[in-house]
């Protein structure tokens, strides 16, 4: 099926074993943190109110914790002992503290935590929630460090690994570009300017020839303090620039901002091309993708089939079980169809309970089988509403022949769909070729 940004849920998916541990002696504050973190993380969230409970959770779940969020002061551990214990178990940690005293901040940093948040008000909890979301997303990202200095690469690797990136390295622009071409998981590039074989500007130019700002974030760096250098990095396609020697906190803030911007661009793109409820392509995206395919078909380069699908008696589902039930039907049917159509096909929700499939290069002998399979797929999906087992059926109209336009093919398949409804529903009708 054609790739669709909204169908990629990796940012919000976690493994079954993923957990977060909140360590806080105030039950009210701990539950407030938990409710906000649950907006950014979909695994299990545990709360420990004492040092003994911290030890018990660590014993029980150990390396299954993706992250811990800890108060420096806790019952039985008033001086950061719980943080030290968690770090000794190699569990990544973010600390929240009510003290901004320099000696306290220095102590927190010495414990090797990812970051710290001042425990002041609800806004501080939102800061922590954004940190958790960013770290959770970072785990899905490979960061490529490009520098001819091994010392700089080691420093960058340490900083980025601490933020949960998967880190890879390259000594020059040529090696870096080869890795980017081969590995689609590389979503962040941190590159020096002066390097052998290919400098940072040329590398960025080549990257931007194949990947835009929605696909990869680029941060340039240099030890030169020439004013024009930072501007030139941006002109060549970088998202930001940092000056060596690297200041860790400033560097990571800039990295996070660049990736947050990339996420936002992808979310905006997805909202413009996908159906909000089902995650399928929307009507606009369908036509944007389908029209060039139709032109190829007119030149006899490919063959096309258009199918209109409508869920039977959908209004009765809403009337009998409520609109939440209707939404569940749409989502589960969409998911079932998305798994059944081929990788090359285009599936879209046209609105309401109506879907459209554009099938490419379906062999004449396989056409009926393909759409009959989609019909059976829909009727095989089970629902349970109020203890009642429910199934739905659909009617499908299909057009195999090229009309004067793509809209004409859709109109003919829609007419076949109407015939299927008139003939008793739960069937496929193929339009007359004439």
Q: Which residues are catalytic?
A: 353
In terms of DSSP H, where are the helices of 213-347? 227-236, 248-273, 283-298, 314-321, 323-340
Q: Which H or E run includes 67?
A: strand 65-71
Question: Which residue, chain included where needed, has tokens 């039950």?
Answer: 27
Could you tell me which residues come within 8 angstroms of residue 405 by beta carbon, excluding any fewer than 6 positions away?
Answer: 294
Starting at the edge strand that comes first in sequence, how are the strands of the sheet with 346-351 ordered?
346-351, 354-360, 304-311, 394-399, 428-430
Q: For the chain, state the CA radius of gyration.
A: 27
The two structure tokens encoding residue 237: 């396609």
Residue-wise burial string across 84-118, b where 16 or more C-beta atoms lie within 10 A, e elsewhere: ebbbebebbbbbbbeeeeeebeebbeebebbbbbe
- Residue 18: exposed, middle, or buried by beta-carbon count in 10 A (0-12, 13-18, 19+)? middle
Cis peptide before 305 (omega within 30 of 0): no
What is d(CA 177, CA 204) in angstroms, rounded to the nearest whole number?
A: 9
3-state secondary structure of 173: helix
- The pair of structure tokens assigned to 203 is 């590398």
From residue 251, alpha-carbon distances to 124, 318, 432 in Å are 21, 52, 64
For helices 367-380 and 323-340, give the axis angle rounded to 10 degrees.
140
What is the helix, strand, coil percentage profile of the chain, to 5? Answer: 50, 20, 30
């Amino acid at each position: 099926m054609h790739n669709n940004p909204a169908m990629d849920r990796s940012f919000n998916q976690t493994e079954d074993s993923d957990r977060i541990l909140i360590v806080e002696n105030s039950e009210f504050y701990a539950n407030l943190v938990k409710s906000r973190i649950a907006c950014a993380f979909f695994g299990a969230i545990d709360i420990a109110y004492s040092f003994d409970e911290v030890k018990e959770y660590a014993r029980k779940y150990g390396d299954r914790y993706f992250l811990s969020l800890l108060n420096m002061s806790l019952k039985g551990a008033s001086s950061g002992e719980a943080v030290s214990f968690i770090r000794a178990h190699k569990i990544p940690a973010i600390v929240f503290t009510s003290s901004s005293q320099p000696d306290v901040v220095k102590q927190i940093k010495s414990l090797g935590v990812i970051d710290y948040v001042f425990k002041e008000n609800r806004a501080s909890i939102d800061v922590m929630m954004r940190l958790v979301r960013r770290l959770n997303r970072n785990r899905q990202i490979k960061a490529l460090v490009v520098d001819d200095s091994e010392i700089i690469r080691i420093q960058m690797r340490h900083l980025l690994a601490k933020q949960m990136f998967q880190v890879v390295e390259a000594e020059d622009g040529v090696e870096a570009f080869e890795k980017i071409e081969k590995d689609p998981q590389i979503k962040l590039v941190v590159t020096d300017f002066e390097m052998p074989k290919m400098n940072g500007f040329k590398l960025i130019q080549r990257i931007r020839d194949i990947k835009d700002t929605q696909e990869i974030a680029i941060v340039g760096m240099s030890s030169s303090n020439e004013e024009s250098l930072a501007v030139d990095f941006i002109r060549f396609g970088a998202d930001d620039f940092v000056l060596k020697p690297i200041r860790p906190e400033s560097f990571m803030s800039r990295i996070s901002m660049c990736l947050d911007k990339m996420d936002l661009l992808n979310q905006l793109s997805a909202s413009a091309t996908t159906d909000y409820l089902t995650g399928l392509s929307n009507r606009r995206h369908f036509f944007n993708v389908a029209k060039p395919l139709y032109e190829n078909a007119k030149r006899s380069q490919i063959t096309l089939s258009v199918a209109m699908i409508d869920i039977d008696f959908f209004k009765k589902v809403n009337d009998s079980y409520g609109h939440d039930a209707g939404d569940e039907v749409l989502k589960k049917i969409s998911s079932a169809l998305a798994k059944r159509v081929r990788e090359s096909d285009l599936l879209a929700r046209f609105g309401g309970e109506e879907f459209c499939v554009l099938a490419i290069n379906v062999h004449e002998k396989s056409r009926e089988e393909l759409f009959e399979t989609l019909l059976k797929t829909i009727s095989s999906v089970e629902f349970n509403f109020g203890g009642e087992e429910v199934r739905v059926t659909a009617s499908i109209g299909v057009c195999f022949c090229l009309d004067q336009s793509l809209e004409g093919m859709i109109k003919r398949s829609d007419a076949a769909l109407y015939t299927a409804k008139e003939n008793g529903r739960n069937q496929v009708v193929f339009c007359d070729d004439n």
